[in-house]
C-alpha cells in the first residue's frame, strides 16, 4: 500500500510541477504504481496472502457466530417467543 501512496504523491508532484519531481521522467513517476500492481497481482498470490486474508475473515465470522450462540440475550429470545404466540 505504501507504493500506491508514493506513486500518488509523485503523480501529484509531477502534475503540480514541483521542481525535483517535475524534471524526472514519467517512467520514474509510474514505477511505484507498477511495482504495487505487480505486488498485488503476482507476489501476493504466489505467497498465498490473499487466501490467508479470506481464511481470516471466515475464521472471524465463525468465531462471531460461536460467541453469539454462547452468550445470547435472553430478553430477545423471550420477546420473540411471546410475539409469535400473539
Taking only the tens place, the pLDDT of each residue in 46-80 is: 776 667 777 778 888 888 888 888 887 666 655 55
CB 33 within 8 A of CB 4: yes
pLDDT band at 35, cuts 50/70/90?
very high
Domain boundaries defined on the chain: 1-47, 48-86
Is-contact 32 7, C-beta < 8 A?
yes
Could you tell me what percent of the chain has a pLDDT over 70? 78
Whole-structure pTM value = 0.53
Contact in structure between 6 and 32 (CB atoms under 8 Å): yes
pLDDT of residue 31: 94
Measure the CA–CA gap between 48 and 45, rounded to whole angstroms.
5
pLDDT tens for 10-20 read 999 999 998 88
Amino acid at each position: 500500500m505504501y507504493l500506491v501512496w508514493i506513486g500518488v504523491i509523485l503523480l501529484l508532484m509531477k502534475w503540480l510541477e514541483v521542481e525535483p519531481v517535475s524534471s524526472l521522467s514519467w517512467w520514474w513517476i509510474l514505477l511505484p504504481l507498477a511495482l504495487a500492481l505487480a505486488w498485488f497481482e503476482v507476489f501476493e498470490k504466489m505467497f498465498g496472502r490473499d487466501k490467508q486474508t479470506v481464511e481470516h475473515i471466515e475464521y472471524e465470522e465463525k468465531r462471531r457466530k460461536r460467541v453469539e450462540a454462547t452468550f445470547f440475550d435472553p430478553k430477545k429470545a423471550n420477546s420473540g417467543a411471546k410475539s409469535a404466540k400473539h
